Amino acid sequence: MCPLTMDSFSKTIVHGIGYILVFEYSYFCSHVEGPKDIFALAVKEYQDSGIQVTVVKALEQAIQEHDNNYPKLELAIVDIILTNRMSNKFKLVNLSTSQS
């Protein structure tokens, strides 16, 4: 299922996940990068990183598994968001810096 052929329900979820991931990443960038166009940088990172493709595939699988079971689908969506947080790279940088 690619974003162009998704139904409107799936497209809405994919866009919502993308917004959450970009805003969350922007927050962390603003504390690390200093004053720049952080939101534009976060959107570019989201588009270039391949995370959007990963999110679409994970959502497709979640919808297939939990189609009409909305409580389970909601939990799967939260898991997709937590798994694909772009700010995780800041944790990796901090871990590698502190271990050096």
Residue 61 lies in a domain: yes
Residue 32 pLDDT class (50, 70, 90 cuts): confident
Which phi-psi region, left, alpha or beta, contains residue 82 (left: φ > 0; alpha: ψ -120 to 50)? alpha
Residue 2 lies in a domain: no
Tokens of 62: 């979640």
| Domain extent at residue 94 | 8-99
Q: Work out the mean pLDDT of the chain and round it to a whole number.
A: 82
Residue 1 lies in a domain: no
Residue 50 lies in a domain: yes
Residue 65 pLDDT class (50, 70, 90 cuts): very high
pLDDT of residue 77 exceeding 70: yes
Q: Is 90:55 a contact under the CB 8 Å cutoff? A: no
Residue 20 lies in a domain: yes
Split into its structural domains, the chain has a count of 1
Residue 3 lies in a domain: no
